[in-house]
Amino acid sequence: MKFTLIIDDEKKTMKIREKLTIKDVLKDFKIPLEAVVVKKNGEIVVEEEQVNDGDIIEVIRVIYGG
């Protein structure tokens, strides 16, 4: 089972481990939860959302500052 991960316009096909969540994916890539918004199949999701076969996960970095 696989899913597509998009980070900074780079597309990767990834294998799914058992009970993989968005939080797990971000941790694997050392991406802080506070610095991104994640879309699953075009919809914004929370970190506990499970990743399923065929999903498209897009990580959008949030830029903030003063």
pLDDT of residue 9: 87
Q: Within a domain: residue 66?
A: no
The letter for the amino acid at 57 is I
CATH number for the domain spanning 47: value is 3.10.20.30
pTM for the structure as a whole: 0.90
Asked whether the predicted pLDDT for residue 53 surpasses 80, the reply is: yes
How many structural domains are present in the chain?
1
- How far, in Å, CA of 13 to CA of 23, rounded? 17
Question: In 3D, which of 60, 50, 58, 57 has the Cα closest to residue 17?
Answer: 50
Which tokens belong to 53?
Answer: 């076969």
Give the pLDDT confidence of 21-38 residue by residue, as tens digits. 999 999 999 999 999 999
- How far, in Å, CA of 21 to CA of 46, rounded? 9
Number of CB atoms found within 10 A of residue 58's CB? 18
pLDDT of residue 64: 73
Q: Within a domain: residue 64?
A: no
Domain span holding position 8: 1-59
Q: Within a domain: residue 48?
A: yes
Q: Within a domain: residue 65?
A: no
Give the pLDDT confidence of 2-11 residue by residue, as tens digits. 999 999 889 9
